[in-house]
């Protein structure tokens, strides 16, 4: 059948443009609830390990805008209270929201209560697990993998939760690409030492730096500029960002 396309699209065009419906056009109501479902500025792996007398975390400082290495000085490890550290992979703005929420709901309430008690690391961790799981059930997840490290009353703590609300506690921790490349290195070292209680702080630092080098060589979203954080009886320390020495003259490169 022959159609006069000029007559169809020009001489007989409808006057009510709202009534025009094209094939496969999706109708979306104006009051539809919408959420951002894709992370924009993201950070990669977080690594953590327990050692004798404390817990240590490390991360690089890169914030990737898609595949662009856009922000090179992001701090992805934050102190929460006097006993806990929270670190995150994933969407950086969601991490900022989480830290602000913890400051308002946990730290400020402890301060206002003025009863000489603070939320311990394991309680802070369980609070975060509930937040992540609740947001997942609302189909509006916080796009992060979170690591909580703490030390109180001689008891170290290291836990993980993510955007699905999945959670577990372990002696070593790795998120992002580190879960594939760094986690085996961490576990092997712990086995060789006969447990985390036989690992010194200096050994833990050297091990994490080794893992960060491995990730820098193989993860396109990583950077050799990193931060270390420790929590122990002596308190919490977060280092200034520093660069790891790298070597690119290997024949294989």
- Any idea which residue has 């009051």 for tokens? 31
Q: What is the dihedral of CA 125, 205, 199, 146, to 10 degrees?
A: 20
Q: Are strands 41-43 and 46-51 parallel, antiparallel or unpaired?
A: unpaired
C-alpha span between 55 and 53 (Å, rounded) = 7
Q: Which residues pair with 235 in a beta bridge?
A: 232
Q: Which of 83, 86, 108, 110 is nearest to 96 (CA)?
A: 86
Please count the CA atoms within 13 angstroms of the CA of 126 that sit on its side-chain side: 4
Secondary structure letter of residue 163 according to DSSP: T
How far apart (Å, rounded) are the C-alpha atoms in residues 159 and 175? 11
| Of 228, 211, 245, nearest in space to 75 by CA | 228
Q: In b/e form, how buried is each residue of 238-251, taking b as 16+ CB within 10 angstroms?
A: beebeeeeeeeeee
Closest among 79, 234, 204 to 149, alpha carbons compared: 79
Active site residue 36: yes
Q: Which one from 36, 44, 161, 172 is the annotated catalytic residue?
A: 36
Q: Are strands 155-162 and 167-169 parallel, antiparallel or unpaired?
A: antiparallel
Q: Which residues are catalytic?
A: 36
């Amino acid at each position: 059948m022959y159609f006069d396309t000029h007559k169809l699209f020009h001489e007989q065009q409808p006057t009510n443009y709202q009534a025009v419906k094209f094939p496969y056009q999706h109708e979306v109501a104006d009051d539809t609830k919408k959420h951002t479902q894709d992370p924009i500025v993201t950070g990669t792996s977080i690594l953590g390990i327990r050692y004798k007398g404390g817990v240590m975390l490390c991360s690089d400082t890169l914030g990737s805008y898609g595949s662009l290495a856009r922000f090179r000085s992001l701090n992805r490890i934050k102190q929460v209270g006097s006993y806990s550290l929270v670190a995150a992979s994933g969407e950086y703005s969601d991490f900022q929201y989480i830290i602000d929420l913890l400051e308002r709901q946990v730290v400020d309430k402890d301060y206002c209560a003025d009863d000489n008690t603070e939320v311990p690391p394991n309680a802070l961790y369980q609070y975060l697990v509930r937040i992540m799981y609740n947001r997942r059930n609302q189909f509006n997840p916080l796009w992060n993998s979170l690591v909580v490290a703490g030390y109180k009353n001689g008891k170290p703590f290291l836990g993980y939760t993510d955007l699905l609300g999945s959670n577990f506690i372990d002696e070593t921790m790795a998120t992002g690409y580190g879960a594939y490349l760094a986690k085996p290195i961490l576990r092997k070292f712990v086995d060789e030492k006969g447990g985390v209680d036989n690992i010194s702080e200096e050994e833990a630092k050297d091990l994490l730096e080794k893992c960060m080098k491995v990730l820098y060589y193989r993860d396109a979203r990583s950077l050799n500029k990193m931060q270390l954080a420790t929590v122990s009886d002596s308190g919490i320390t977060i280092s200034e960002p520093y660069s790891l020495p790298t070597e690119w003259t290997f024949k294989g490169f």
